[in-house]
Structure 1
Amino acid sequence: MRLDLIPVDSLTRIAWALADAHGDDALGVADRTIRELESEGSPVVADAWRGLRSVLEDVLGGRLGRDTPTIH
C-alpha cells in the first residue's frame, strides 16, 4: 500500500474512523500497528500507517475537521 495512492479525503475519513472507534487511544493503535508491520517485514505499509498517524494527530489535535480542514 502506497500512501501517495490514497486520496487525502480518504485518509481523513480513515483517521476520523480510528478516532471515533478508539478515542484517545487511536495514536496508540497506530503506533502498535506500525511496530507490528515493521516486525513482519512490511516497511512500505508501515510507512503508510505513519502518514495516517500524522493525519490522526491533526484530527485529535483539532486541526483537521471531519469534513473540511480547520484553518488556524
Structure 2
Amino acid sequence: MRLDFLPVDSLARFAWALADTHGDSALAIADRTINELEIEGSLLVADAWRGLRSMLEDILEGRIGRDSLTIH
C-alpha cells in the first residue's frame, strides 16, 4: 500500500475510525503497527502507516475537523 494510491478522504476516514474506536490509544496502535511492519520488511506499508499516524495525531489534537481535510 502506498499513500499516492490512497485518496486523502479514504485516509481521513480510516484515521477517524481509529480515533473513534481507540481514542488516544490509536497512536500507540499505529506506532506498534509501524514497528511490526518495519521488522517484517514491509517498508512501503510502514510509510503509509506513518502518514496515517500523522493524520491521526492531527485529529486527536483538534487540528483536523471531521468534515474538513484542511490542516490548520
For the aligned pair, the TM-score class normalised by the smaller chain equals: over 0.9
Provide, for residues 36-61 of structure 1, a one-character-per-residue CA deviation record: whole Å limited to 9, x for no partner. 00011100000000000010011001
3-state SS of the aligned residue for 1:52? helix
2:17 alignment partner in structure 1: 17
RMSD over equivalenced CA pairs, Å? 1.3
2:48 alignment partner in structure 1: 48
Stretches (4+) displaced over 4 A: none
State how many pairs are aligned. Answer: 72
Amino acid at match of 1:16: W
TM-score norm. by structure 1 comes to: 0.93
Q: Matched residues in 2 for 1:59 and 1:31: separation?
A: 16
For residues 71 and 57 of structure 1, do their structure 2 counterparts lie closer, same or farther at Cα, with a shift above 3 Å needed? closer
- Where structure 2 has 5 or more consecutive residues not aligned to the other structure, the ranges are none
Give the CA deviation at 1:69. Answer: 3.8
- Where structure 1 has 5 or more consecutive residues not aligned to the other structure, the ranges are none
TM-score norm. by structure 2 comes to: 0.93
